[in-house]
Amino acid sequence: MSAQGGIMYSVSFDKMLTELNLSVEVPVERWLKLQAILSDDYLQYQVVLADQDIELRVVVKKDPIPSIWPHLEYSRILAHVASNSLGGEYLFSTLEGASEHSDWHMSADFAPKISFSERAHGKMWSYFKDGRGLVTVIALYDDPDTWRDSYYNFIHF
C-alpha cells in the first residue's frame, strides 16, 4: 500500500495532529475525499473521509483519559455503533505491530446498527498512548474485498 501524508484537513484537525504527535497516512489507492463533519448524541468526529466504497470516521479523545480506561471508552463506542441483534457478533483482535506506536490497542469487526450506517460491514480500531489520548477509527463498507489491513495505519501515534 502506498500512502500520502502532508495533506491539510482543517485547521483544528491539523492542530490536533501536531499537539498529539499523530501521523495520518491516507491510502493512495483510494480516492478518499473529505466529508462534512458528523456528530450524534454519542460521538463527535474530528474528520470523515470517504469514497463510494468505504467511509473512515475518526474520533480523538485527548488525555486526561485514565490509562486504565481506554478499553471502557472503546467498548462504549462499539456499543453505540454495532448492531445488538441476536444474530450479530463481534470479532475482537489486537493489532499486529501496533504496540510500537501505542500503549493499548484493539480492533473489532461488527455489523453496524441500521441507525448508524446503511453499510453492511464495519471495523473499529483504537490506539491509546498515555499522556496523549485515544484515537478511534470506524471504517464502514459493503464489500468485504474493499478492506485492506494496511488501512489500520491510516492514523497512528
pTM of the model: 0.86
Of the CA atoms within 13 Å of residue 62, those in its CB half-sphere come to 9
What is the predicted pLDDT for the residue at 124? 94
Residues 6 or more apart in contact with residue 40 via CB below 8 angstroms = none
H helix runs in the chain, sequence order = 11-20, 70-81
pLDDT band of 6, cuts 50, 70, 90: very low
pLDDT band of 1, cuts 50, 70, 90: very low
* Chain position carrying cell 489491513: 149
> Which of 3-17, 113-127, 142-156 is the least confident region?
3-17
Q: Does 9 or 105 have the greater pLDDT score?
A: 105
pLDDT tens, residue by residue, 84-136: 775 666 777 777 666 677 888 899 999 999 989 999 999 999 988 888 889 99
Cβ proximity of 55 and 139 under 8 Å: yes
Q: Angle at Cα 78 formed by Cα 93 and Cα 62, nearest 5°?
A: 95
What is the predicted pLDDT for the residue at 119? 95
Can you tell me the distance from the alpha carbon of 79 to that of 10, in angstroms, rounded to the nearest whole number?
A: 29
Fold that domain 3-156 belongs to in CATH = Protein Transport Mog1p; Chain A (3.40.1000)
Q: Does 28 or 118 have the greater pLDDT score?
A: 118
pLDDT tens, residue by residue, 38-93: 777 778 888 888 999 999 999 998 876 666 688 888 888 998 999 877 566 677 77
Does pLDDT of 37 surpass 90?
no
3-state secondary structure of 100: helix
